[in-house]
Chain A
């Protein structure tokens, strides 16, 4: 069947307190910072972050992971960098760090992808800000075949 191969950027919501004008601060505490909503069945095309402030740290430089949560809102069976593991090192502002490790991974509604600052920039004058993105390709599917879809009464 002929169908669109248009890449679609999944909606990313930054958690409250992590929505600086430049995006997510890399020299803050480690932890979950944002999530991607999965509104339809799709497959991963590209995962990455746009760097808006150069990354630096004399002890550690930032690492950002995109983890798949099979159950939205729950850490049961949560992945660990299974969608992306972005080693930011000293990447400059304006660069786009990407990972193709999960290309082709199928995502379904009811799951979500969490953006985690796994290693913070530490030491010296630590810096770094990023904006995450996740590009996917839509995979058509009948609603009744999607296990987590429930039609309202």
Chain B
């Protein structure tokens, strides 16, 4: 079947207090900082972070994208199964990416959570904006386990 292979950026929502003008502040306590909504069946093409402030720290920061099989729940949550970013001293304007999850299929009812895994230490700095690019995979609604048509 002829179908589009255009990449689509999934919608990203910043959690409250993690929405600085420059994006997510890397220099803060490790925590979940936002999520990607999965509105249709798709496969991962590229996961990444746009760096908006140069990262620094004698112990550099780390950021993970984790798959939650059940939206809103940490049951069976992955650990950096979609992406793992070693922030190092990446400069502002660079785009740090990870192809580890290339081809991983995502379905509605799941979500991908963005987490500051390791806060940089000593001389810490860094801001970033997350993105997740996918390719749409057509599927009949009735074949998607988590979809429920309203009454």
Whether A94 touches B71, Cβ cut-off 8 Å, given contacts A6-B8, A87-B151, is yes
Complex: A21 Cα to B38 Cα, angstroms: 16
Residues of B within 8 A of A22 (CB): 72
Q: Closest approach, in angstroms, between the C-beta of A19 and any C-beta of chain B?
A: 5
Contact, CB under 8 Å: B72 / A53: yes
- Neighbouring B residues of A87 by C-beta, 8 Å: 150-151
Q: Is A141 at the interface (CB under 8 A from chain B)?
A: no
A7 contacts the other chain (CB 8 A): yes
Contacts of A9 in B (CB 8 A): 10-11, 37, 39-40
User: Is the pair A93, B150 in contact by a Cβ cutoff of 8 Å?
Assistant: no
Flag if A21 contacts B32 (CB, 8 Å). yes
**Interface footprint category on B:** 20 to 34
A10 to B149, CA, bound (A): 20
A146 within 8 A of B: no
| Chain A residues within 8 Å of B71, by CB | 50-52, 93-94, 131
Q: How far is the CB of B26 from chain A (nearest CB, A)?
A: 19
Docked pose: A144 CA to B59 CA in angstroms: 55
Say whether B147 faces chain A, with CB atoms less than 8 Å apart. yes
Q: Is A38 an interface residue (CB 8 A)?
A: no
Asked if A122 is at the interface (CB within 8 A of a chain B CB), the reply is: no
Contact A98 B10 (CB under 8 A): no
Smallest CB gap from B144: residue in A:
A96
Query: In the bound complex, do residue B141 and residue A7 qualify as a contact, i.e. CB atoms below 8 Å apart?
Result: no
Expressed in whole angstroms, the Cα–Cα distance for A60 and B6 within the complex equals 43
> Residues of B at under 8 Å CB distance from A?
3-4, 6, 8, 10-11, 13, 15-16, 32, 37-40, 69-73, 108-111, 136, 141, 144, 146-151
18 additional contacts, CB 8 Å, given A46-B40, A131-B111? A6-B6, A19-B15, A23-B72, A46-B141, A50-B37, A52-B72, A84-B150, A86-B150, A87-B151, A89-B151, A91-B148, A94-B109, A95-B109, A96-B109, A97-B150, A131-B37, A133-B11, A135-B39
